[in-house]
Structure 1
Amino acid sequence: MSEPAAPQDYTDQAVRPYVMRGGRVSPSRNTIGVDTLLMTALDGPPLPLTATREQRDLLTMCVRLHPLVEAAARLRLPVSVVTIVACDLVDSGRLYARSPAPQAGRPDLKLLQELLDGLRNL
């Protein structure tokens, strides 16, 4: 029996996610979700020399507004790792996290569909 071939785009990392998170399994704040928008605090303190590659890459990427899940995809890291890294950077004042608009502020899909149907009937 032979093992199935690995997909061509799969690359295993030498450093495990547990190590990247500093051994932590949960973030320091529960307000950051996959749809949270991240942006580098340009007036924040500089990163220390001991900063990880993940911290540096996330800050560099988030000079422009990025959702957390997109940042994780671009960094090719698990969302759980990027969540903890982002929480650390927010806690240190180097990154801003902004929640998306709450559900109450979003229009009702049924109402929008009725409006669209009404416009099409004109």
Structure 2
Amino acid sequence: MTGRRGGRPLVPAYLSTGGVARPSRALERLSVLTAGGEPAPADLPAAQTALLEELEHGSLTVQEAAALLRLPVSAVLVLAADLLDRDLVLARAPIPPARRFDPDLLKRVADGLRDLKHR
């Protein structure tokens, strides 16, 4: 979108956000973005339209969207926050890492399964 093969971007990242440097709401790099289902307004900036087009194919993390759009994650955070404010995308927090199971509990379960097998 804003890049060319093997060279510098045609449009600096700050122009893709309309000069806005900070997102209007807190999002994380691994926040999952999904299209909201509303049609995009005609006056939507090109970078936001491109983000919505990428989301038509399914949900993406902010980081994945940045890679596809060839924009810095910080720029996509600004774009996504603005689309959230307009109710054009939905976002959910990343799935937290699973907690480790208690090794003693796992040993007791394994022992119980072995006992059942030998009956």
> Shorter-chain TM-score: what band?
0.7 to 0.9
Residue 74 (structure 2) pairs with residue 80 (structure 1): yes
> CA deviation digits over 1:52-77, x for unaligned, max 9?
22111111111201111011001111
Moved over 4 A (4+): none
Aligned-residue identity in percent: 31
- Flag the 1:110–1:23 CA change in 2: closer, same or farther, 3 A: farther
Unaligned stretches of 5+ residues in structure 1: 1-8
- Flag the 1:40–1:109 CA change in 2: closer, same or farther, 3 A: same
2:15 to 13, 19, 37: 19
1:107 to 99, 112, 118: 99
- Following superposition, the deviation at residue 88 of structure 1 comes to 0.5
Give 2:29's aligned residue.
34
Give 2:43's aligned residue.
50
CA distance in 2, matches of 1:18, 1:58: 15
Q: Report the AA paired with residue 64 of structure 2.
A: E
Q: Report the AA paired with residue 36 of structure 1.
A: S
Q: Max radius of gyration: which structure?
A: 2
Residue correspondences, number: 103
Unaligned stretches of 5+ residues in structure 2: 115-119
> CA deviation digits over 1:37-61, x for unaligned, max 9?
000011x2x3222222211111111
**What SS is found at the alignment partner of 2:91?**
strand
Q: Report the AA paired with residue 48 of structure 1.
A: P
Q: Over the residues paired in the alignment, what is the CA RMSD in angstroms?
A: 2.4
**What SS is found at the alignment partner of 2:53?**
helix
